[in-house]
Structure 1
Amino acid sequence: MERRRATVAIGTAAAISLFAISIGAPRVRDAVDRDVDVVLDEPGEYQQPLEGADGDVAALPAVEVRTVAGEVMSTADLVGTPLVINLWFAACPPCVREMPEFAEVHAEFGDRVRFIGVNPIDEVDRMLEFAESVGVSYELYLDPFGRFTDALETASFPLTVFVDADGRILARDGVLDADGLRERIALHFRIPTSRSA
């Protein structure tokens, strides 16, 4: 009986690990062992992490990502202007909900803040097709090996990171709507919104 329970427990742990790896969030697989606040009980539904669920990385990690043309570049090359970096993918429901909001705010702030989308899951055609369908025109990059996602200690999607011109990570957030995104841009980059100007 004990042997059967142990076998069931091992099988369950293996299934959870395989699911976490299959969704393409490389750090999520560690959540099972680290007792962090990540909801894994609704497969396919990527929820906003509870406070403290994502890591606390102080500087933008310098790792390789791919452009939509397939070229390799370092995320260190992004530093030099305020950045809003959004990690997302097309099968993530909260990502889908917030993408049009990001497109709207990008239209307002894109001349002062550089918006970046990083996708660790989708193939380039799927990524571009979806982005176009929701009006996203800002820069998009692929993270096919999850290096950037891992380096940010990402626990769930979407994740938005606010980075200053010197490469310091100022804040991290889960799902954001347009107003929340505007507020954070005004707060972290001291750029007034059109509503507060």
Structure 2
Amino acid sequence: MNRNVRLRLFAVAMGLVMVGLIAVGAPEVRDAIVNGETDAVLSNPGEYQLSEEGGVATRSVFPSVEVIDVNGATVDSAEFIGVPMVVNLWFAACPPCQREMPDFAAVHERVGDEVRFVGINPIDSASAMTDFADRMGVKYELYRDPLAELTDALGTLGFPYTVFVDADGVIVGDAGLLTEDELVGFINDYFDIEGGSDT
């Protein structure tokens, strides 16, 4: 790593510590990752909490933008609408994403017949995305967002980031890093899906 790269990394790290994620807009977050200026958008590594000013406003409509499926086909995200949906934004080098993805895979196995799970990745190549997801046991749909259009439209300030969308396409809630129990709780609360509970 040359001196200029080290200086950029140090500057980005100090900037995040000083101003926090609240002052960082979604496009800047995306650009920092794509340009290699940071390896994860975290104020404290492994501890991501969504800012009160971040994320898309609840009760807004899920955005209609183009994303790319694992086979390279373009899909309109509006086509996802029709059943309750969990949309998780992540990328492979993000430590909190690595922690929560097996939990998402486990919950999907339990409620996937009633709730649609969609993974959105704005960073990785198709092969990197699918290889990592396979290792995590993920069976749900995965899409790339290489221009970060959906990522930006959702007001993403950090990763992982999850939005909960009802069958009519209305965003009813959002969250940062989630455990399996927390994810189940949100699904039960937002969608009244009893299958999400072990009881």
Indicate whether the TM-score tops 0.5: yes
Alpha-carbon distance in 2 for matches of 1:76, 1:67: 14
Aligned equivalent of 1:32: none
Shift of 1:56: 1.5
- Structure 1: gaps (5+ residues): 1-11, 26-37
Shift of 1:51: 3.2
Alpha-carbon distance in 1 for matches of 2:159, 2:42: 11
RMSD over aligned Cα, in angstroms? 2.5
Q: Any residues of structure 2 matched to 1:37-116 within 5 Å, and which?
A: 40=43, 47-56=48-57, 58-116=60-118
Shift of 1:164: 0.3
- Count of residue correspondences: 170
- Normalising by structure 1, what TM-score? 0.78
Alpha-carbon distance in 1 for matches of 2:148, 2:72: 16
Q: Sort the Cα spacing of 1:69 and 1:165 in 2 relative to 1 into closer, same or farther, 3 A.
A: same
- Report if aligned partners of 1:162, 1:169 keep a CA contact under 8 Å in 2: yes
Aligned equivalent of 2:5: none
Shift of 1:173: 0.3
Partner SS for 2:174: strand
Determine which of 100, 120, 124 is the counterpart of 1:122. 124
Shift of 1:59: 1.0
Alpha-carbon distance in 2 for matches of 1:45, 1:137: 24
Aligned equivalent of 1:162: 164
Paired letter, 1:110: G
- Report if aligned partners of 1:83, 1:164 keep a CA contact under 8 Å in 2: yes
Alpha-carbon distance in 1 for matches of 2:170, 2:113: 20
- Report if aligned partners of 2:184, 2:197 keep a CA contact under 8 Å in 1: no
Aligned equivalent of 1:33: none
The runs of 4+ residues in structure 1 deviating greater than 3 Å are 15-20
Paired letter, 1:195: D
Identity %: 45
Shift of 1:46: 7.0
- Normalising by structure 2, what TM-score? 0.78
Shift of 1:137: 0.6
Partner SS for 2:131: helix
Does 2:198 correspond to 1:195? yes
Alpha-carbon distance in 1 for matches of 2:137, 2:105: 6
Alpha-carbon distance in 1 for matches of 2:187, 2:102: 17
Query: Over alpha carbons, which structure has the higher Rg?
Result: 1
Paired letter, 1:80: G
